[in-house]
Amino acid sequence: MARPMRLRSASAHLVGSLAAIAAQAALAGLAAPLAACGGGGDPVAVSVQMALDPATCGAVPDPSALDLTCAATAGVWLRRASTGEVLERACVDFGGDAPTLADLPSLLADVDLATASSADVSVDVAVYAPWQSASGCPTLDEVAPSGDAQTQVVVSGSSGGVDLSASPALIEVELACGPIAAPGDAAACESDCKGEQDDCYDDSELADCEDKFDLCEEDCSPDDDLCDAQCESNYTSCVTASPVGACQLDFDSCAEDCSAGDDGCFTACDEDYDTCQDAICQDLFDSCTSGCDGDGQCAVAAS
């Protein structure tokens, strides 16, 4: 059993542990047996159980099969149920190389919250990403964008209003899942990205631009500077439509400075072009694949 997660108040003292439980009634959940003070101040046993919502997490959800696809934070909040006022909060970052929702019990094992209230209190739990607790511990309605990626709620749930000192037999929190990406979805996405990268390396469009430029020049009369300038402008517009257009224009400028027959100079221009193209095509691939989990956002991914 995991180390205890404690929820304390002046009239209610809850001490419990979160532990993964097997699927039951089509739910694979997280359970928290707790202890609370009764009216006389003596501790009495209560239980808080968290289960994954089958409608959003799958028919028989398995926490260990639901991977978190980027930096994520788990939060626990004690709130005034009627007003939403936050009485106490705590956020803890998921660690490791491949965290899953099954890590939630051990992650929250040492959480210690205190509040002077025990009645009309809700226990809220959520996981959201991309986020790190160093940036704060916002409630679900306070979650804001983090960098260029929109922070989203991965799973969330609330007990609703309960009286902690009344020792209810069971406090339930059902966690609803955000978008779940199947492994096949990510594989197909990465395959599409590879296709885009291959297109980036396809120089046929640039060759077409050169052919059009040559045809344009053939139609120009000798010493017709205006016609030549128009051909150059058309060529530049054609080339810049390519992802590696800037590389081509740099090559053209480099080659113009090479003396006739200077193979070393032309080779250096070619190598610079290749380096430029590699960098741009790799950036396109990396940018594309960064959106292969959850359509560009962090999500729960079924492993």
Backbone angles phi, psi at 246, to 5 degrees: -65, -35
Q: Radius of gyration over alpha carbons of the chain, in Å?
A: 30
Same domain, residue pair 173 and 273? no
User: Could you tell me if 105 and 19 are in contact, meaning their C-beta atoms sit under 8 angstroms apart?
Assistant: yes
Each residue's pLDDT tens digit in the chain (303 positions)? 232 333 333 333 333 333 322 222 222 334 443 444 344 444 444 456 777 888 887 765 678 777 777 788 888 888 888 888 888 888 999 887 778 888 887 787 777 776 666 678 888 888 888 888 888 888 877 775 544 456 778 888 888 888 776 655 567 888 888 766 655 566 777 888 888 899 999 989 899 999 999 999 999 998 899 999 999 999 999 999 899 999 999 999 999 999 988 999 999 999 999 999 999 999 988 888 776 654 444 555 666
- Output the pLDDT for position 66: 77
Q: Is residue 124 part of a domain?
A: yes
Beta strands in the chain (DSSP E): 5-9, 13-16, 19-20, 29-37, 43-52, 66-68, 73-80, 86-93, 112-115, 121-129, 152-158, 171-177, 180-181, 300-302
Is there a domain that residue 294 lies in? no
- Find the helix packing angle between 245-256 and 225-240, rounded to 10°: 140
Assess whether 147 and 62 both reside in one domain.
yes
In the numeric block, the tokens 């058309």 are attached to 234
Task: Determine contact, residues 14/115, Cβ cutoff 8 Å.
Answer: no
> Is residue 171 domain-shared with residue 193, that is, in the same domain?
no
What range does the domain containing 27 cover? 5-178
Asked if residue 239 is part of any domain, the answer here is yes
Please tell me the total count of domains within the chain: 2
- Of 159, 178, 197, the one marking the end of a domain is 178
Measuring CA to CA, which residue among 56, 62, 2 is closest to residue 27?
A: 62
pTM value is 0.54
